[in-house]
Structure 1
Amino acid sequence: MDKQPATLQRRDFLRGALATAILLPLGGTLASCVGGGGGATTTGGPVSADNPFGMAANSTVDAVIFKGGYGIEYTEFAGKLVEKQQAGSTVKVTAATNIAQTLQPRFVAGNPPDVIDNSGAGLIGINTIREQLADLTDVIEAKNYEGKVIKDTLYPGVVEPGTFDGKFVQLNYVLTVYAVWYSAALFEANGWTPPKTWAEALDLGAKAKAQGKYLFGWGTEAATYYLTMAIASAIKEGGDEVRLALENLEADCWSKPAVQDVLKGLKAIIDAGYVKPGGAGTQFTAAQAQWSNSEDFILYPSGGWIENEMKTQTKDGFKMTGAPEPTVSADSALPYSALHSTAGEGFIVPSQGKNVGGGKEFLRAMLSNDAAVNFAKTTFSSTIVKDTIPEDGFGSTALVSQVKMLNDAGTDVFSWSFIDLYGLNTDLLVLWNTFLQGGSDVATLTKGMQDISDKVRNDDSVDKVTVK
């Protein structure tokens, strides 16, 4: 693979994102590239059962990892496994909090890292670099460190989200469950139950207020966690009609009745004074601590990373537990138990990297049983590798509740990708901070979100994907 990188404009590079991509059929053939173009490339070594990607002897793997809710320790653990498996090798793990901003100069110069955890609010839009990424089919076709074919050890359907036009370029490592989180201890003490509808949420807000607490709260960088909850609720209420309208950026997609009913339900909670004020000026982990430590508010929408992210700022005996997002009505298109879940934390291997074989070997290490168990045990979240979580969830009530929610959901599991694919989060954050603090109504919010969607839909320079 000697193709030089296409010219990247900073505006385009920083625009897009893909934490969870479109579900397309997994395809392609085994890739055998062990080196990349665009600079001094490490010469590949011989391919063998112990070195399936021909990683060069005594070479260094350059890994840049997003430092967010899961930290970077799990990747350092995997790096040590690589160094043990490939004697003489070195894995250099570098943390970054804004992947696109950090790596844009390296991609433009044709000198990207060997493997990247492309995650976080500032991730790289796959639509801007997908031609510069190595096919990862051979990674899942290889045997793991325990001697099992990797694809046979993974949960069904978790590989496809990283496939574009038949080319598998992004390995989404973490099986992320999105939920509304609460303290089971607090709820048990007050006789509360998680709300199944927005009407029940409004009633619970009144009960919380009587105890001197708010129902919800937020931090400025995480205002769109409430958008995520609202979209999930609207999809459960309206089904695929809503999901596909949003995914395909249809005209008036935000005016769908199910979407409007959800927004009105949340607006009623805001207007009732059940959302803790000041979130637009509060750093998001500080706001989350107001929930997990101070218990100023009692519900918080987030992904399953929340327990690990707040592990040093959670009240003793909190018993963090997740519940599905509420629906609007009892006869919604999908049941209350339906769940927004997907594989996240997307790892990519640039084909222009100096050590493509080493980047793939790093992923093989991460998909080993030892690395997957270590991740679950230290972050209280599941990877895409099956059978790595015991019934007690390593003592984590949050992890136990994730497994329960997945089991209860059965086949009613869904996700979407348009916000990350087209890089809409930054603009949407402004709208949602304003909405949550009571500074706009549903009509204003709807128009603002539709304008953002329409701008992308009408921009011929944006590579758009049709979801069916």
Structure 2
Amino acid sequence: MTTPTRRQVLRAGLALPFTGLLAAACASPGAPAVQATATGAISAGNPLGMDEGGPLEIVIFDGGYGDAYARTIHEPMFLAKHPKVQLKHVATKEISGTLQPRFVGGTPPEVINNDGAQSLDLAALVQGGQVQDLTPLLDAPSWDDPGKKVRDVLLPVAVETGSFNGTPYSVPYVFMIWGFWYSTKLFSAKGWQPPTTWAEFLTLCAEIKKAGIAPFAYAGKYPGYVWEAILAMAVKNGGLDVMKRVDNLEDGAWRAPALKQAAAAFGELHARGFLLQGTEGLNHTESQARHNAGEVAIIPNGSWLENEQKDVAPADFGYAMFPVPALSDKEALPQTALHAAPGAGFIVAAQSKNPRAGMEYLRTMVSKEGAGKYSGLVSTLTTVQGAELPADAKPGLKSAAAALSAAGTNTVDWRFNSWYAELGTELDAATGQLMTGRITADQWADRLQKKADAVKKDSSIKKFSR
């Protein structure tokens, strides 16, 4: 029996004991989002015309960034200006499990931090008309300067990433940076230097192994940590069109030489014995714990890592990162290029009781005060322009910021996994097999191309492009 994908469950209402709005809406591809009308008087203090005495439920993903930023920064800022709003705060590690029944039942919260491994399938929600069109928010005056629109204080790439076929549905709040993370204390003690090419990386791995330390580990139960690095390597080698063709479901896109070569390079880590024993069975916290303990030297991860480990990592660990090494000496992008993209998206449910209050809350978040204090608390960058690093920024945050500065405009990203959840799921499974030697790079590419072709042919799946 074939297990239905999450998108299929959302679309057809499978495995649910009742039929609700989400299932019904998703049965009509391309259903428009319900427009939230003003329910209060529009004024300088209430530019979106929200109901000042209505509810505002905020659901935060309690993951690497925790939920304290909402409780101690953004929510107090919002209530200081709108004290009569009935604000309710919810934190959960299971966004989809917690909220999918509420979408189906027609009682979603106003604001959702749609993040984590169990995030909602945003493309399916957009297709079903369940997510608020955020154009009114982006066209509203910014919190700090009424002369500027909200869209003008966000990085342009954040607006683009949060949009589906040109319509904004999400505000990605964190500017995430991915790479290979290590301990400056360990590297300094051993005299090791971050490599810039894959050949240098393999040489370093051999030295690390001789020192009795596993060179590399990743969260085997969540292969996204390592396929992210594979894709970044492929784009650096073959150019931005490598993933643009994948995103656009072009024929043969997954069989691009750059993708197969990058997959083969990472598959070699298993063949050479450079992986921490038992890596395939680790979750993200377990792989990070082994990193903290000095059992493994390098792990692929993102700029949230330092904050996620602040209570468990040794105080002198010295988090730092370097970009995924270049596959060859002849690359389409500079060696400093890295995967950097907006993430930790916030959405407003169109069917919630007070969606205009949800948009007003997001307007609060993208203020300079809201963004600056957030960076200081959780040690990460935001998508708000002009929000500077705090004076007491931690070493990992400084390292990530420096890497981003060195990359300049040479950043890479992709959209297929947010547009087509089943393709991301297939990539997880195929990469898990690649990294344990069960399939070759060619088989990896063929498997993903087959899934991409199936998605392309499925008329019930709304298609997106860039």
For Structure 1 versus Structure 2, the TM-score category normalised by the shorter chain is 0.7 to 0.9
Contact (CA 8 Å) 1:74, 1:371: kept in 2 or not?
Answer: no
- Which letter maps to 2:431? W
Q: Percentage identity across aligned positions?
A: 33
Q: How far off its partner does 1:9 sit? A: 6.1
RCO (CA 8 Å, sep 6+): is it higher in 1 or 2?
1
- Which letter maps to 1:89? V
Alignment length (residue pairs): 435
Matched residue SS, 2:216: coil
Structure 2 CA distance for aligned equivalents of residues 437 and 182 of structure 1: 23
Structure 1 CA distance for aligned equivalents of residues 122 and 237 of structure 2: 30
- How high is the TM-score relative to the length of structure 1? 0.87
Select 1:47's aligned residue among 42, 61, 74: 42
1:88 aligns with 2:87: no
1:65 aligns with 2:60: yes
Structure 2 CA distance for aligned equivalents of residues 359 and 395 of structure 1: 30
Structure 2 CA distance for aligned equivalents of residues 9 and 194 of structure 1: 44
Contact (CA 8 Å) 1:154, 1:384: kept in 2 or not?
Answer: yes
C-alpha spacing 1:395/1:254, structure 2 compared with 1 (3 Å): same
Structure 2 CA distance for aligned equivalents of residues 203 and 380 of structure 1: 32
> C-alpha offsets along residues 143-170 of structure 1, whole Å, 9 cap, x if unaligned?
3443453333333432121122332111
Contact (CA 8 Å) 1:230, 1:263: kept in 2 or not?
Answer: yes
Residue 331 of structure 2 corresponds to 332
> C-alpha offsets along residues 281-317 of structure 1, whole Å, 9 cap, x if unaligned?
22320111111x1121111111211111111221221
Matched residue SS, 2:226: helix
Q: How far off its partner does 1:357 sit? A: 1.6
- Which letter maps to 1:400? K
Structure 1 CA distance for aligned equivalents of residues 8 and 256 of structure 2: 35
Structure 2 CA distance for aligned equivalents of residues 13 and 466 of structure 1: 24
C-alpha spacing 1:230/1:14, structure 2 compared with 1 (3 Å): farther
Q: How far off its partner does 1:90 sit? A: 2.9
> C-alpha offsets along residues 180-219 of structure 1, whole Å, 9 cap, x if unaligned?
1111222222222222222111111101001111121122
- Which letter maps to 1:352? Q
- How high is the TM-score relative to the length of structure 2? 0.87
1:255 aligns with 2:255: yes
Contact (CA 8 Å) 1:13, 1:124: kept in 2 or not?
Answer: no
Structure 2 CA distance for aligned equivalents of residues 179 and 296 of structure 1: 19
Contact (CA 8 Å) 1:198, 1:262: kept in 2 or not?
Answer: no
Select 1:97's aligned residue among 88, 93, 99: 93
Q: How far off its partner does 1:450 sit? A: 2.7
Residue 405 of structure 1 corresponds to 403
Q: How far off its partner does 1:431 sit? A: 2.6
Contact (CA 8 Å) 2:51, 2:356: kept in 1 or not?
Answer: yes
More deviation, 439-448/51-60 = 439-448
C-alpha spacing 1:166/1:437, structure 2 compared with 1 (3 Å): closer
C-alpha spacing 1:420/1:10, structure 2 compared with 1 (3 Å): same
Cα RMSD of the aligned pairs, angstroms, is 2.2
- Which letter maps to 1:430? A
> C-alpha offsets along residues 251-299 of structure 1, whole Å, 9 cap, x if unaligned?
43332211122122212221111111212222320111111x1121111
Select 2:36's aligned residue among 33, 36, 39: 33
- Which letter maps to 1:431? A
Contact (CA 8 Å) 2:376, 2:389: kept in 1 or not?
Answer: no
Could you tell me which runs of 5 or more consecutive residues in structure 1 were left unpaired when the two chains were aligned: 1-7, 16-30, 36-43
Q: How far off its partner does 1:347 sit? A: 1.0
Alignment of 1:130-141 (within 5 A): 130=126, 131-141=129-139
Contact (CA 8 Å) 2:161, 2:342: kept in 1 or not?
Answer: yes
Matched residue SS, 2:237: helix
More deviation, 163-172/333-342 = 163-172
More deviation, 202-211/378-387 = 378-387
More deviation, 441-450/70-79 = 441-450
Residue 194 of structure 2 corresponds to 194
More deviation, 273-282/205-214 = 273-282
Q: How far off its partner does 1:227 sit? A: 0.4
Contact (CA 8 Å) 1:214, 1:296: kept in 2 or not?
Answer: yes
Structure 2 CA distance for aligned equivalents of residues 307 and 259 of structure 1: 29
Structure 2 CA distance for aligned equivalents of residues 104 and 391 of structure 1: 37
Matched residue SS, 1:88: coil
More deviation, 329-338/150-159 = 150-159
Contact (CA 8 Å) 2:35, 2:350: kept in 1 or not?
Answer: no
Residue 426 of structure 1 corresponds to 425
Alignment of 1:168-187 (within 5 A): 168-187=168-187
Contact (CA 8 Å) 2:165, 2:464: kept in 1 or not?
Answer: no
Could you tell me which runs of 5 or more consecutive residues in structure 2 were left unpaired when the two chains were aligned: 1-6, 15-33
> C-alpha offsets along residues 325-357 of structure 1, whole Å, 9 cap, x if unaligned?
112112100011112111111111122110112
- Which letter maps to 1:68? G
- Which letter maps to 2:89? V
Matched residue SS, 2:84: coil
Structure 1 CA distance for aligned equivalents of residues 155 and 52 of structure 2: 32
Contact (CA 8 Å) 1:14, 1:100: kept in 2 or not?
Answer: no
Q: How far off its partner does 1:122 sit? A: 2.2
Residue 245 of structure 1 corresponds to 245
Structure 1 CA distance for aligned equivalents of residues 232 and 8 of structure 2: 33
Q: How far off its partner does 1:391 sit? A: 7.0
Matched residue SS, 1:311: coil
Structure 1 CA distance for aligned equivalents of residues 427 and 109 of structure 2: 30
Contact (CA 8 Å) 2:375, 2:390: kept in 1 or not?
Answer: no
Matched residue SS, 1:321: strand
Structure 1 CA distance for aligned equivalents of residues 195 and 448 of structure 2: 26
Matched residue SS, 2:231: helix
Structure 2 CA distance for aligned equivalents of residues 462 and 341 of structure 1: 27
Structure 2 CA distance for aligned equivalents of residues 234 and 9 of structure 1: 30
Contact (CA 8 Å) 1:14, 1:122: kept in 2 or not?
Answer: no
Q: How far off its partner does 1:121 sit? A: 2.1
Contact (CA 8 Å) 1:32, 1:53: kept in 2 or not?
Answer: no
- Which letter maps to 1:211? A
1:108 aligns with 2:107: no
Alignment of 1:68-467 (within 5 A): 68-76=63-71, 77-130=73-126, 131-148=129-146, 149=148, 150-291=150-291, 293-390=292-389, 392=391, 394-423=392-421, 424-467=423-466
Contact (CA 8 Å) 2:333, 2:410: kept in 1 or not?
Answer: yes
Contact (CA 8 Å) 1:275, 1:436: kept in 2 or not?
Answer: no
C-alpha spacing 1:460/1:33, structure 2 compared with 1 (3 Å): closer
